Chain A
Amino acid sequence: MDISPQADAPPLELRNVTKFYGDFKAVDDVSFTLPAGSICGFLGPNGAGKTTTIRMILEIIQPTSGVITVLGRPSALEVRQRIGYLPEEKGLYKKMKAWSVIAYFATLKGLTRKAARQRAFELLERYGLKDFAAKPTEALSKGMGQKVQMLASIAHDPEFIILDEPFSGLDPVNQQVMEEIIRDMAGRKRTILFSTHVMQHAERLCERILLMTKGKKIFDGTIAEAKRTLPRRVRIETDDDIGPLRALEGVISVGPVETAGGAAGANGSGHWELQIGENADPQAILQMCFAKGIRLRGFNQSDPSLHEVFMHLVGPEAREATFR
């Protein structure tokens, strides 16, 4: 199967997609394009409209308005054999054996029965579930069941994979296995869209993120671009007066960092955060410290975390977001 992505047909394109549930606008005029071969994190608070968007992409439900193009086609069902999907709520046929669940879903995606069976055993072996292949899925632990479901959704080696909360409910070891599966697929130039609440996963895995809240897209771009929405910052640790640094060019603000020991300052632990302009040079801060005799215990120039970006972009709405 030739799965080399075509430059002119992105795996996914949404144009002005809106979905109403009765009077409730679940998705509000969302447009984006997913470049081929990328891992894209689909982020947003609960009730942001992620699952609804995913269901519309898969044509499980129809958008109220707007156009969705999947792998160059107007209907995901037309290309269903080239798409993999792991839904948010995980479930398997309880009485079926692990291998036969994987094989069944693979046959639904067009594999022959024989190929599906072979593929099921192959995947189970590769991801450490060989011994459980012949067990009914009800005998598996939750984590194992979820892995089996993940394998079922990629058994046909799709070129575009949508994973809805693939990490939820997994212990750290299994989260790692899940990441491994995702990386393996990315390594073979598959396009992956996965939704998550856990920013660390997105940060580790994604090149791009798509951020939604209250049904609207609020950010779409690379992680680096996302981080640029927040000022850069430098963290220093000192017991001396840091007044001179405030006057430095490019420093936007200086503030204490709350630590376990309390705020910086008179009684604090001496942790400070300096927000600096895009073109400011962190080295200048270091030089100023030497020049003014500010004795540093620590100096750290770091980008904001995705978590901070998320909180910044979503804002207080993140807390108020309505639950579905």
Chain B
Amino acid sequence: MKFVFLVAWREYSENAKTKGFWIGLFMFPVIILLSISVSVVLQTKGTPVRHYVLVDQSGKFAAVVESRLEQLKTHSQPGATDSNAPPRSFQAVTLPAGIDTNADLASLARELKPYLRGEKKVTADGREVELYAAILIPRDIEKQIVRPRAGPAGTNAAGGSIEYWSANLADSTLREAVEEAVNKEIRRREYLARGLDGAAIREVEQTHAPFASLNPNKEAGQEAVNGADIIRQWAPSGFVYLLWVAIFTISQMLLNNIIEEKSNRIIEVLLSSVTPGELMMGKLFGIAASGLTMVGVWMASLFGALIWKSGAASEITGQLLLALQTSNLIPMFLFYFLLGYLLYATLILALGSVCNTIKEAQSYMGMITMIMMVPMLTMTFIPKDPNGTLARVLSWIPIYTPFTMMNRVNAHPPLFDLIGTTLLLLASTAAALWMAGKIFRIGILRTGQPPKIIEMLRWIKG
């Protein structure tokens, strides 16, 4: 046992000196922090106030458009008072001086293009700003209204549609809001024109049955589904991904490590001092410690970042934090990490022991990677049906147990699944360890071509 510890300690301390380890350690916290910060920044500052001009030659829609756009705020902060009410997303500006409101749309557009392209600026509240969009409503727009059955009414090239000019094609919020407001107004007028009671229709349109999402797993009286519930259901997928990255990263570490010893022939000196079993266990534990350090730092930084950022700044971080605190995601993550690691690491050790170069090992590693892809592919399906056939079948395949069960953690899988799969996983890990031990003992001293599978089976039997 002392020798196992010595080997493990060297693995750990040498690993801690490699760049890969530190990159692995900090990559995740950096990503977490960045993504939280970016989402917060985007929410508060990401969409600046945008300026538009509205030329309504018909004179009938400007007011409704304005009142619709009034409702679009850049960011709605809970508890914001009137004094610090968030600014509107879209702010109207007056036409730049020298442009005639009554000119035809073509010449209006021509005149506005330099502003829309950012070559010229418009003035808003005494500041020079970029013109984001121009909405041009032709004088005869009412003649252009499209009605079912009647077909397009006298569409012509000169007059015609409402023109929405903007260099930004990605964000259609403004266009949609304007379109909605104009159409609503047109319909209101249409109701009137046909002698229908517009107000009554509006009332009818707003009738609806109350609808609530409830979760049977929550305590009576508190079944209402909130944001944290939804996050809680999806968070396991995130952890599956973490699990996958963590196991994959340190498996790779282990493989490199064993191949180094083998290709450097250090193994022989080691084996004159320790038994193959001690060496293998030492490696497993040493690298497990590296892996645990890594995921420990990940979890700590995830928590830290969530607590730090979970104030008023971001609603999601708060809900995520709540979801983590009120479920056993993290203990389960550590549990499945350890078991999953042991199983995969054992396979990798056996594999590494029969290969002499990383190149030889890569082809086998490709196979393992393909096998490992399955949890990634099913990661997003399982939460939708966490106790369904796919989920249950995958749970009972030991190499997929950690990932699948992790994915199901918050869906209250049957106790039978929970305990049964864990026992099966433990048993397979023990069996894999035993087999790997046999392969390791012979493979580790072998040089030349990697053995065939049949040959390895013979070693296991022998």
Contacts and interface: CB of A to CB of B under 8 A. Distances in A.
A94 B268 contact: no
A224 interface: no
B264 A108 contact: no
A108 B3 contact: yes
Shortest 3 CB-CB contacts between residues of A and residues of B: A91-B264, A89-B265, A108-B273
Interface residues of A, number: 27
Contacts of B265: 87, 89-91
Residue from B7, B264, B270, B273 whose CB has the most chain A CB atoms within 10 Å: B273
Interface string A257-290: 0000000000000000000000000000000000
B206 interface: no
B264 A93 contact: yes
Interface string B1-44: 00100110010001001100000000000000000000000000
Interface string A88-108: 011111111000000011011
A94 B264 contact: yes
B445 A61 contact: yes
A117 interface: no
Contacts of A89: 265, 268
B260 interface: yes
Interface string B256-269: 00001101111011
Contacts of B7: 108
A158 to B, nearest CB: 10
B272 interface: yes
B65 interface: no
Contacts of B263: 91
B14 A96 contact: yes
B274 A108 contact: yes
B254 to A, nearest CB: 15
B102 interface: no
Contact of B273 (A92, A93, A95, A105): A105
B275 interface: yes
Contacts of B274: 80, 108
24 contacts: A60-B271, A60-B272, A61-B445, A76-B272, A80-B274, A83-B272, A85-B268, A85-B272, A91-B265, A91-B266, A92-B266, A93-B260, A93-B261, A93-B266, A94-B264, A95-B18, A104-B6, A105-B269, A108-B3, A108-B7, A108-B270, A108-B274, A149-B269, A152-B269
Main secondary structure of the interface of B (DSSP, over half): helix
A85 B269 contact: yes
Given A60-B445, A108-B3, A95 B269 contact: no
Interface of A: 55, 58, 60-61, 76-77, 80, 83, 85-87, 89-96, 104-105, 107-109, 149, 152-153
Contacts of A80: 272-274
B6 A108 contact: yes
Which of B14, B261, B271 has most chain A Cβ within 10 Å? B271
A104 B265 CA distance: 16
A58 B14 contact: no
Contacts of B18: 95
Nearest to B275: A77
Contacts of B270: 108
A109 B3 CA distance: 9
Contacts of A76: 272
Contact of A104 (B10, B272, B275, B445): B10
Given A60-B272, A105-B269, A94 B260 contact: yes
Contacts of B17: 95
Contacts of B269: 85-87, 105, 149, 152-153
Nearest to A149: B269
A85 B274 CA distance: 12
A76 B7 CA distance: 19
Nearest to A156: B273
Contacts of A104: 6, 10
Nearest to A58: B272
A83 B3 CA distance: 16
Given A60-B272, A80-B274, 9 more contacts: A76-B272, A87-B272, A89-B265, A93-B260, A93-B261, A93-B266, A108-B274, A149-B269, A152-B269
Nearest to A324: B447
A93 B266 CA distance: 7
A149 B275 CA distance: 20
A87 B268 contact: yes
Nearest to B263: A91
A75 to B, nearest CB: 10
Interface in B425-462: 445
A48 to B, nearest CB: 18
B266 A109 contact: no
Given A93-B14, A108-B273, A60 B264 contact: no
Contacts of A77: 275
Contacts of A85: 268-269, 272
Interface in B224-269: 260-261, 263-266, 268-269
Interface in B89-108: none
Contacts of B3: 108
Interface in B265-291: 265-266, 268-275
A91 to B, nearest CB: 3
B155 to A, nearest CB: 75
Contacts of B272: 58, 60, 76, 80, 83, 85, 87
B286 to A, nearest CB: 12
Nearest to A97: B17
Nearest to B276: A60
